[in-house]
A and B are shown apart, each in its own frame.
Chain A
Amino acid sequence: MELGPYLLLATLEGAVTAAVLALTAVGLSLVFGVMRVVNIAHGEFFMLGAVVAWYVAQTLGGHASVGFGAALIIAPLLVGVIAVAVDMTILKRIDYDPERTIVATIGVLYIIQQLTLMGYGPEARPVAPPFNTRLAIPWWEFKDGSLQMYWPWGLSTTSYKLAVICAAPVVLLGVWLLMARTKIGLLMRATQQDRDMALAFGIPVERVYALVFGIGAALAALAAVLIVPIQQAHYLMGADPLLLSFIVVIIGGLGSLPGTVVAAILIGLSDGIISVFFSPTLAKILATLLVGLVLVYRPNGLFGARST
Chain B
Amino acid sequence: MSTGTKVLLLHGGLLIALFALQFVLPAYHHGNLARIMVLASYAVGYNILFGYTGLLSLGHALFFAAGMYGMGLTVTHLGWTPAPALIAGVAAGAAVSAALGLLALRTVGVAFMIVTLMFAQAGYLTVLYFGKWTRGDEGFVIQQAQRMLWGIDLSDPGNRYFAALALFAVSLLVCLWLVRRPFGKTLIAIRENEERVRMLGYDTFAHKLGAMVISGTISAAAGALYGLLFGYAGASFAGVQYSIFPLLWVLLGGAGTVLGPFIGTLFMFYLIDLSSGVTTAYMLIAGVVLVLLTLFAPQGLAGELRRRLWGWLP
Chain A contact residues, CB within 8 Å of chain B: 38, 90, 93-94, 97, 99-100, 102-104, 106-111, 113-115, 117-118, 239, 243, 246-247, 250, 254, 279, 281-282, 284-285, 288-289, 291-293, 295-297, 299-301, 308
Question: How far is B292's CA from A77's CA once the two chains are assembled, in angstroms?
Answer: 27
- The answer to whether B284 touches A114, judged by C-beta atoms less than 8 angstroms apart, is yes
Residues of B within 8 A of A299 (CB): 106-108, 111
- The answer to whether A285 touches B293, judged by C-beta atoms less than 8 angstroms apart, is no
- The answer to whether B114 touches A247, judged by C-beta atoms less than 8 angstroms apart, is yes
Whether B110 sits at the interface, judged by CB under 8 Å, is: yes
Given A103-B293, A288-B125, also A296-B103 (CB < 8 A): yes
Q: Which chain B residues (5-43) contact chain A, with CB distance < 8 Å? A: none
Residues of B in contact, count (CB < 8 Å): 41
Residues of B within 8 A of A114 (CB): 281-284, 287
- The answer to whether B103 touches A292, judged by C-beta atoms less than 8 angstroms apart, is yes
Q: Which chain B residues (96-150) contact chain A, with CB distance < 8 Å? A: 103-104, 106-111, 114-115, 117-119, 121-122, 125-126, 128-129
- The answer to whether B294 touches A107, judged by C-beta atoms less than 8 angstroms apart, is yes
Q: Which residue of A lies closest to B286 (CB)?
A: A110
Residues of A within 8 A of B111 (CB): 250, 295, 299-301
- The answer to whether B125 touches A99, judged by C-beta atoms less than 8 angstroms apart, is no
- The answer to whether B287 touches A110, judged by C-beta atoms less than 8 angstroms apart, is yes
Residues of A within 8 A of B229 (CB): none
> Would you give the shortest CB distance from B249 to chain A, in whole angstroms?
11
Question: How far is B106's CA from A62's CA once the two chains are assembled, in angstroms?
Answer: 57
User: Can you pick out 17 interface pairs between chain A and chain B where the beta carbons lie within 8 Å of each other?
Assistant: A90-B294, A102-B247, A103-B248, A103-B252, A104-B294, A106-B244, A107-B286, A107-B287, A111-B288, A114-B281, A115-B284, A243-B121, A250-B110, A291-B114, A292-B118, A296-B107, A296-B115
- The answer to whether B248 touches A110, judged by C-beta atoms less than 8 angstroms apart, is no
Chain B contact residues, CB within 8 Å of chain A: 56, 103-104, 106-111, 114-115, 117-119, 121-122, 125-126, 128-129, 240, 244, 247-248, 251-252, 255, 281-284, 286-291, 293-295, 298
- The answer to whether A292 touches B119, judged by C-beta atoms less than 8 angstroms apart, is yes
- The answer to whether B298 touches A281, judged by C-beta atoms less than 8 angstroms apart, is no
Residues of B within 8 A of A296 (CB): 103-104, 106-107, 115
Residues of A within 8 A of B298 (CB): 94, 97, 100
Residues of B within 8 A of A254 (CB): 110
Q: Which residue of A lies closest to B111 (CB)?
A: A299
Question: How far is B282's CA from A118's CA once the two chains are assembled, in angstroms?
Answer: 11
CB within 8 A of B118: which of A90, A110, A291?
A: A291
Residues of A within 8 A of B129 (CB): 279, 281-282, 285
Starting from the known contacts A38-B110, A107-B294, 18 additional A-B residue pairs (CB-CB under 8 Å) come to A90-B291, A100-B294, A103-B248, A106-B244, A107-B286, A107-B289, A107-B291, A111-B288, A114-B287, A118-B281, A118-B284, A250-B110, A288-B118, A289-B119, A292-B122, A295-B107, A295-B114, A296-B103
